[in-house]
Amino acid sequence: MQKGSIRVQTENIFPIIKKFLYSEHDIFLRELISNAVDATQKLKTLSSLGEARGELGDLSIVVKIDKDAKTLTISDKGIGMTAEEVDKYINQVAFSGAEEFLDKYKGQNENNIIGHFGLGFYSSFMVSDKVELVTKSFRDAPAVKWECDGSPEFSLTEAEKPDRGTDIILHINEESSEFLEASRVKEVLSKFCRFLPVPIFFEGEQVNNPAPAWTKKPSELTAKDYQDFYKELYPYNEAPLFWIHLNVDYPFNLTGILYFPKIKQSFEIQKDKIQLYSNQVFVTDEVKDIVPEFLMLLQGVIDSPDIPLNVSRSYLQGDPNVRKINNHITKKVADKLDEIFRNNRKEFEEKWESLGLFVKYGMMTDDKFFEKAEKFHIMEQVDGSAWYTMEEYKAATADLQKNKDGKTVVIYSTDPIQQNTFIKAAADKGYKVVKMETIVDAAFINQMEMKWQDVHFVRVDADIADNLVDKQEQIASVLSSAQEEQLKKLFDVKPEGLHVTVEVKGLGAEAAPVVATRPEFMRRMKDMAAVSGPMGNFYANMPDEVLLTVNGNHPIFQQVLADADPARQEKITHNLSDLALLSQGLLRGAALTSFIERSVAVMEGK
């Protein structure tokens, strides 16, 4: 029997390892099963090289709970260890067996070695009062048992073990008793180990898929295989729109499958995130430094052995491989979207409701993506009759929608139903109105006006139709100056929360009597403030700017001005202004109630 102290490289590191090595205690199971997988993969490699003789037999890993003994055991049938190897790899903390093995068999190892047998093993002490390791090497050597209670003291003795491999028996401490519950262990196995490359059994059931779709070549997979794998990842989601298979081995290693999910306009903060793996071991689902920010709404898996298991933000932000992976994913996504757009534009248009968010966000935040995406960014006409890229829209509107500065004026609607009156007025002039109704459009429009310097966006209700492209000369009014001033006074209303400016203009007699418009700049600022949080409070708290354009040429105003009853004049003009505000969704609360009551009174002749 050997007794001794664990040789650590830094004085007093052991208590730190025990308590603070990992922020999440459940990660111990990932580390121990990763080690078991390593041991199994090593055996396969040695067998293929003729260094491990005989049949390998069943190589599955088994996880067991014994509630009475308060133990959790992880058993593998891998390479095992001799007494000397236990002393070297377990007692000399931070001396990595996996690293040494990789160096020795560089270029010959076809089975990936997951990690670093050493520090990871000591994560077991985060949940254990005592740890026993019983192991038998594939070489002709006696089995040994190593035992430690979490202090630097250990014992190493010969043991009885009939089969090759290693059992790690954790005597779970009181505060970690959750890991004696089958449901909790199954949850952790599902999180960290569901795609490890060696079969893992718990309570008689296999809990992992050792050959997930991303580990295969695209040529080996059908559309159904990709869809089935998506269902395996996200069992309750609708089928994805399409997917991208990543498969790179130079200048960095990267595999994975990224899915474009269906996105509703009222989408929630994403819960089904992209998962990061390293050689099939789950690392994290916080991937924002690896995946470009605009693609965080994608789903699926990326796997790179170039990213360490104990990943940190500072590592991700500084590592050149991570930057290359980020750029590669951006290029692959842009190329895939471009391919669908060119080869099946109808399918692309049908999926734009979901794709538009990705594309617009990417065009705003990533210049390289913008260069490709501006060719396949599309806009739908409000009546659904046509789709346009920006170049197509410019060509289709060249005769009518170029302003005096030579810019194409893109007339858009954020709510085709509510803005129907304005859309009809614009369509009557031959203008083409497109939909811009996603939550990113306010910011998108601002950015695109800077990037597309020959384009100006105007919402369809930002002005009367005559003024949407350029301010027009006023049509002669049939009213005298005195009558116009009288009308202005009658329309001098001050609804709560609105800043209303009144103008009397000569419009066509067929135009509406009163039109409420919201000037583009201020409305845009408020729209952006609504989604930008505290930074947008300045604009968000300002009253809505509204311009009431009173059509002095409408016949109703001849009647109003001729009416000798000031109360009736006030009622009619108030109702007309309220109708105009209602068309903009700006009549609410008490003002809306007053409008309804007043309308009834007018109809009753009161």
Q: Name the helix (H) or strand (E) containing 435.
A: strand 433-435
| 47 and 187 both lie in a single domain | yes
SS3 assignment, position 520: helix
* Assigned domain for 363 exists: no
Vertex 34: Cα angle to 136 and 325 (nearest 5) = 145
Burial call 568-602: b when 16+ CB within 10 Å, e when fewer: ebebbbbbbbbbbbbbbebbeeebeeebeebeeee
Q: Please report which residue ranges of 397-519 form alpha helices under DSSP H.
A: 420-428, 441-451, 481-490
Residues 166 and 252 in one domain: no
Range of the domain at 549: 481-518+535-603
Q: Is residue 347 part of a domain?
A: no
* Pick from 209, 217, 228: nearest CA to 282: 209
More confident residue, 576 or 168: 168
Closest CA to 432 of 398, 456, 462, 403: 398
What tens digit of pLDDT does each residue of 121-169 get? Answer: 878 888 999 999 999 999 889 999 999 887 778 899 999 999 999 999 9
For residue 528, tell me if it sits in a domain. no
pTM: 0.75
Query: In whole angstroms, what separates CA 541 from the centre of its chain?
Result: 30
Backbone angles phi, psi at 191, to 5 degrees: -70, -50
How many structural domains are present in the chain? 4
Report the pLDDT value the prediction gives residue 455, as an integer from 0 to 100. 95
pLDDT-based confidence at residue 60 (cuts at 50, 70, 90): very high
Write down the H helix ranges in 193-304. 223-233
Q: What confidence tier does 179 reach under pLDDT thresholds 50, 70, 90?
A: very high
Rg (alpha carbons) of the chain, rounded to whole number: 35
**Mean pLDDT to the nearest integer, 487-498:** 82
Decide which of 179, 206, 233 is a domain's last residue: 206
pLDDT at 97: 44
60 Cβ contact list (under 8 Å, min separation 6): 77, 198, 199, 200, 201, 206
Q: Give a yes or no: residue 373 inside a domain.
A: no
166 lies in the same domain as 31: yes
**Mean pLDDT to the nearest integer, 436-452:** 89
Domain boundary among 342, 363, 387: 342
| Least confident segment among 325-339, 378-392, 518-532 | 518-532
CA angle in degrees (0–180, nearest 5) for 150-153-159: 95
| 56 located within any domain | yes
Beta carbons of 117 and 35 less than 8 angstroms apart: yes
H-type helices in 109-159, by residue range? none
Euclidean distance between CA atoms 377 and 275, whole angstroms: 28
- How many angstroms separate the CA atoms of 111 and 417, rounded? 60
**Do both 192 and 254 map to the same domain?**
no
- One domain for residues 234 and 268: yes
Confirm if 274 and 300 have CB atoms less than 8 A apart.
yes
**Residue 283 scores a pLDDT above 50:** yes
Given a cut of 50, whether residue 563 has pLDDT beyond it is yes
Element (DSSP H or E) covering residue 504? strand 498-505
CATH number for the domain including 13? 3.30.565.10
Q: Please, what is the end-to-end C-alpha distance for the chain in angstroms?
A: 108
User: What's the pLDDT at 250?
Assistant: 78
User: Do 199 and 223 sit in the same domain of this protein?
Assistant: no
Strands 200-202 and 61-66: parallel
Q: Which residues pair with 154 in a beta bridge?
A: 4, 148
Is residue 19 located within the same domain as residue 125?
Answer: yes
488-510 burial code (b ≥16 CB/10 A, e <16): eebbebebeebebebebbbbeee
- For every residue of 154-214, DSSP letters joined together read EEEEE----SSEEEEEEEE-GGGGGGGSHHHHHHHHHHHSTT-SS-EEETTEE---SS-GG
Domain boundary among 206, 231, 258: 206
Of the given ranges (13-17, 305-309, 508-512), which has the lowest mean pLDDT? 13-17
The C-alpha atoms of residue 414 and residue 441 are separated, in whole angstroms, by 9
pLDDT of residue 521: 75
| Residue of 93, 2, 7, 86 whose CA lies nearest to 39 | 86
Query: Are the C-beta atoms of residues 369 and 334 closer than 8 Å to each other?
Result: yes
The one-character DSSP state at 448 is H
Please, are residues 197 and 214 in contact by the beta-carbon 8 Å criterion?
no
Question: Both 191 and 256 in a single domain?
Answer: no
Contact 270, 263 (CB under 8 A): no
Give residue 112's pLDDT band: very low, low, confident or very high (50, 70, 90). very low
Regarding whether 126 and 74 lie in a shared domain, the answer is yes
Residue 114 has pLDDT above 50, yes or no: no
Least confident of 177-191, 290-304, 372-386: 290-304
pLDDT in tens, 302-360: 998 877 655 555 556 667 777 888 889 999 999 999 999 999 999 999 999 889 988 99
The model's confidence at residue 458, banded by pLDDT at 50, 70 and 90, is: very high
In a domain, 525, yes or no: no
- Looking at residue 258, its amino acid is L
CATH number at residue 443: 3.40.50.11260
Asked if 262 and 154 sit in the same domain, the reply is no
Share of the chain residues as helix, strand and coil, in percent rounded to the nearest 5: 40, 20, 40
189 found inside a domain: yes
Asked whether residue 539 carries a pLDDT value surpassing 50, the answer given is yes
Q: Are 42 and 114 in contact (CB under 8 A)?
A: no
Same domain, 155 and 33: yes
Q: Could you tell me if 591 and 493 are in contact, meaning their C-beta atoms sit under 8 angstroms apart? A: no
What pLDDT shows up at residue 11? 41
Question: What gap in Å lies between CA 62 and CA 73, rounded to an integer?
Answer: 8
The pLDDT of residue 40 is 95
Q: Is the pLDDT of residue 110 over 60?
A: no
Which pLDDT does position 538 carry in this prediction?
A: 59
Q: Does one domain contain both 185 and 202?
A: yes
The percent of residues above 70 in pLDDT, for the chain, comes to 85
pLDDT band at 9 (very low <50, low <70, confident <90, very high): very low
**349 domain residue, yes or no:** no
Q: What is the CATH number of the domain that holds 268?
A: 3.30.230.80
pLDDT grade for 278, boundaries at 50, 70 and 90 = confident
Q: What is the distance between the alpha carbons of residues 260 and 262, in angstroms, rounded to a whole number?
A: 7
As a whole number of angstroms, the distance between CA 571 and CA 91 comes to: 92
**pLDDT value at residue 519:** 79
pLDDT for 10: 41
